[in-house]
Amino acid sequence: MAGADKDLPQKSGKAAIDAFVKQVRSTPVIKTGQQRGRLMFAMDATASREPSWDRACQIQGEMFTETASLGGLDIQLCYYRGYGEFEASPWLSSADALLQRMTSVSCRAGSTQIEKVLHQAIEQTKQKKVQALVFVGDCMEEDVDRLCHLAGELGMLGVPAFLFHEGTEPAAQRTFKEIARLTRGAYCAFDASSAAQLRDLLSAVAVYAAGGQRALQDFSQDRSEVVRQLTRQLGKG
């Protein structure tokens, strides 16, 4: 993110949404033929996020459903928790399979492992193009320079990272914004009171990754004002 990032509020107010849609507007979506889009969805499953895990399960299932008519979206679920535990699912093409995996996960106390998330995104896109990385987390306890180096590499591969920050932890905010900037992605803060906005924005990113601007325009017809605003901003690009 650039410039206006410094003025973003902690919660997902109008300024945060404006900043988010500005970044999505500048993110190129490369689609060839009728290939299914690929979206990595990475989550912090440490103990601090346990209260919001069930909500995230529902939101991610809705992301999958919204892209079905576009030829589909393959999603890889990644999460970290506990002492060095990092898991990445196979690429999943059904919401049921995805939700089954998510609902079997329990949160465990531990440190963040965002470096492993970025490594995974890099390795996966070297094998086959990944359209976007989505990360949802609340803290950052790692070497910032190392994370930014990997974010730069991911940006060179053309994979935007969309980072959704739960809470107000300052180190996480600064780092998440920089990762978004380096990958030409976007940062957005949220809390429990803005779950509906998070759902709409995540679904919009998924639809955009799967089908581009036209798909997002169709998707936005009967959606929230947040999604319609996103569509209008993309239409100006």
> What is the per-residue pLDDT across 137-168, written as a single tens digit (0 to 9) for each?
989 999 999 999 999 999 999 898 888 888 88
pLDDT of res. 32: 43
pLDDT tens sequence across 31-56: 444 567 788 989 888 887 776 666 66
Mean pLDDT on 221-235: 59
pLDDT tens sequence across 199-224: 777 777 777 777 766 777 776 666 66
Would you mind telling me the total number of residues written for the chain in this entry?
A: 237
pLDDT of res. 120: 98
The residue among 71 and 35 whose pLDDT is bigger is 35
Q: What is the pTM of this model?
A: 0.77
Task: Check: CB of residue 5 under 8 Å from CB of residue 211.
Answer: no
Strand ranges (E), the chain? 37-44, 73-81, 85-88, 132-137, 161-166, 186-190
Helix, strand, or coil (residue 77): strand
- pLDDT above 90 covers a percentage of the chain that reads 29
Mean pLDDT on 55-66: 62
pLDDT of res. 185: 79
Domain spans of the chain, in order of start: 36-235
pLDDT of res. 10: 39
Torsion of CA 47, 49, 52, 57, to 10 degrees: -90
- H or E element: which one contains 153? helix 144-156
φ, ψ (nearest 5 deg) of residue 67: -100, 0
pLDDT of res. 1: 36
The residue among 71 and 38 whose pLDDT is bigger is 38
Q: Indicate the pLDDT class of residue 12, thresholds 50, 70 and 90.
A: very low
The domain 36-235 belongs to what CATH superfamily? Answer: von Willebrand factor, type A domain (3.40.50.410)
How many whole angstroms separate alpha carbon 123 and alpha carbon 88? 12
Only one residue has tokens 């969309």, namely 162
| C-alpha separations of 183 from 186, 206, 212, 226 in Å | 8, 17, 18, 23
